[in-house]
C-alpha cells in the first residue's frame, strides 16, 4: 500500500524553515541519527523513527536510497506496545483478589487500587510484543511541501514531532483556505464576501 503499489491515503503539509546549503549531507546525517530503533525489553511505550522506503528493515539508508529525483522518500515506523483492555481487567481482578487474601493473613500492606492497576499494566506491557506501523513520507524539498501517509491524529502528532526534531523544520497541515498563507488583501476579501453572502443550501432560507 502506498507509492509502490495499491491505494494511497495522504495528508499534505507545508514545510516551513530553511535547510542548510549542504542539505543533502545534512538530511543524510539527520535521518540516520533519528532512524528507527527496536524497543528494548525495558522500554514500555513506543519507538518512533525513520526507515528506508525501499526496505523497511534498512535504517542505514544505504546509497541515499531516500533520494528520488526532486523528492526525498522515506518511511516513519512506529512500534507501540498496547495491552488488551480485557486482559488488563482480568489481571487487575486477579491481583486485587491476591492482595485481599494476603492482607487477611496479615501479610503485605493495603495497596491502592490505582497502584495495583498501574503495576499490572506495566508488567503486562513488558510482556506484550510491540505492534509496528509504517507510514510513507514524500517530501518535495524545492516546492516546500510533503505528503504523509496517515490521517490518524496520534500518528500525525508523532510524525510532526519527529520531523521537527530531525530537521529543525516545522510542518503545517495544509488546507488551501489557511488565512496565514493568504495575502492580507485576499483574507479581507474572503472574510467580507463570505460574511455578506453566506452559502445557504436550505430551500427555506433563499
Report the 10 Å Cβ neighbour count for 164.
13
Task: Using alpha carbons only, give the angle 95, 98, 99 rounded to the nearest 5 degrees.
Answer: 90
Residues paired with 72 in a beta bridge: 67, 139
- The most distant pair of C-alpha atoms in the chain lies apart, rounded to whole Å, by 78
Binding residue for another protein, selected from 5, 41, 107, 109, defined by CB under 8 A: 5
State the virtual CA torsion across 84, 88, 89, 92 in degrees, nearest 10: 180
Task: Pick the stretch among 84-92, 94-102, 161-169, 180-188 that binds another protein (CB under 8 A).
Answer: 180-188
Cell of 36: 528507527
Give the closest residue to 132 by CA, choosing from 185, 59, 77: 77
CB of 67 to another protein, least distance (A): 10
Q: Quick one: which of 11, 95, 124, 134 contacts another protein (CB under 8 A)?
A: 11
- For another protein (CB under 8 A), the number of binding residues is 43
Closest separation in Å from C-beta 61 to another protein: 15
Q: Is 8 among the residues that bind another protein (CB under 8 A)?
A: yes
Contact flag: residue 69 with another protein (CB under 8 A): yes
Binding mask 109-138 toward another protein (x if CB under 8 A, else -) reads -----------------------------x
- Which H or E run includes 77? strand 71-80
Chosen residue from 68, 124, 162, 169 binding another protein by CB under 8 A: 68
**Within 13 Å and on the Cβ side, how many CA atoms surround 141?**
16
- Bridging pattern class, strands 131-140 and 71-80: antiparallel
Question: With binding defined as CB under 8 A, does residue 179 bind another protein?
Answer: yes
Residue 142 lies near another protein (rule: CB under 8 A): no
Among 147, 155, 158, 159, binds another protein (CB under 8 A): 147
Using CB under 8 A as the criterion, which residues of the chain lie in contact with another protein when the complex forms? Answer: 3-5, 7-12, 68-69, 71, 73, 138, 147, 151, 173-180, 184, 187-195, 197, 199-206
Amino acid at each position: 500500500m502506498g507509492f509502490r503499489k495499491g491505494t494511497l491515503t495522504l495528508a499534505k503539509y507545508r514545510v516551513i524553515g530553511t535547510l542548510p546549503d549542504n542539505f543533502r549531507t545534512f538530511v543524510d546525517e539527520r535521518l540516520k541519527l533519528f532512524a528507527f530503533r527496536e524497543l528494548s525489553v525495558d522500554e514500555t511505550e513506543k519507538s518512533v523513527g525513520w526507515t528506508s522506503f525501499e526496505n523497511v528493515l534498512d535504517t542505514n539508508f544505504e546509497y541515499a536510497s531516500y533520494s528520488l529525483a526532486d523528492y526525498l522518500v522515506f518511511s516513519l515506523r512506529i512500534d507501540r506496545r498496547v495491552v488488551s483492555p480485557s486482559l488488563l481487567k482480568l489481571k487487575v481482578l486477579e491481583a486485587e483478589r491476591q492482595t485481599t487474601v494476603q492482607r487477611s493473613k496479615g501479610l503485605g500492606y493495603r495497596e491502592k487500587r490505582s497502584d495495583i492497576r498501574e503495576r499490572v499494566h506495566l508488567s503486562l506491557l513488558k510482556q506484550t510484543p510491540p505492534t509496528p506501523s509504517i507510514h510513507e513520507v514524500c517530501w518535495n524539498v524545492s516546492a516546500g511541501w510533503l505528503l504523509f501517509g496517515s490521517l490518524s491524529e496520534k500518528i500525525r502528532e508523532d510524525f510532526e514531532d519527529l520531523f521537527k526534531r530531525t530537521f529543525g523544520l516545522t510542518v503545517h497541515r495544509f488546507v488551501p483556505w489557511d488565512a496565514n498563507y493568504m495575502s492580507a488583501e485576499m483574507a479581507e476579501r474572503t472574510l467580507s464576501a463570505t460574511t455578506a453572502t453566506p452559502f445557504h443550501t436550505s430551500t427555506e432560507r433563499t
